[in-house]
Amino acid sequence: AQSVTQLDSHVSVSEGTPVLLRCNYSSSYSPSLFWYVQHPNKGLQLLLKYTSAATLVKGINGFEAEFKKSETSFHLTKPSAHMSDAAEYFCVVRGVGSSYKLIFGSGTRLLVRP
């Protein structure tokens, strides 16, 4: 069975400092992994995706993530946080077989201090 574990429920950073949101995955197969962001009262938006191409994936708004098979990790980073980055972030693995359902982690709420 596939799953993802987000290691922090809340992360607080100062504006202009780096962001690190941690995610570990479990998968019997080569996984497809995603990060989604959810701003208040808005739908979920795809930040970036890994589908077995380059292990360093660049997404929107300056975010990137690195797939590390040896560590079963897919951490999300950004060099410099902006106030507008404050939101909830979900690490996601896609199911295999006949269903392409997305399996979400429990989420990490990012707070950005001025």
Rounded to a whole number of angstroms, the minimum distance from the CB of residue 114 to another protein is 25
27 forms part of the interface with another protein (CB under 8 A): no
> Which one of residues 1, 43, 56, 70 is an interface residue with another protein (CB under 8 A)?
43
> Which one of residues 1, 41, 70, 114 is an interface residue with another protein (CB under 8 A)?
41
Rounded to a whole number of angstroms, the minimum distance from the CB of residue 104 to another protein is 3
Query: Closest by alpha carbon to 90, among 50, 60, 53, 45?
Result: 45
Token output for 35: 């990060």
CA distances (Å), 21 to each of 79, 101, 106, in order?
Answer: 12, 23, 12
Q: What are phi and psi of 99, to 5 degrees?
A: -115, 130
Q: Which residues bind another protein (CB under 8 A)?
A: 32, 34, 36, 41-46, 49, 51, 90, 92, 95, 98-107
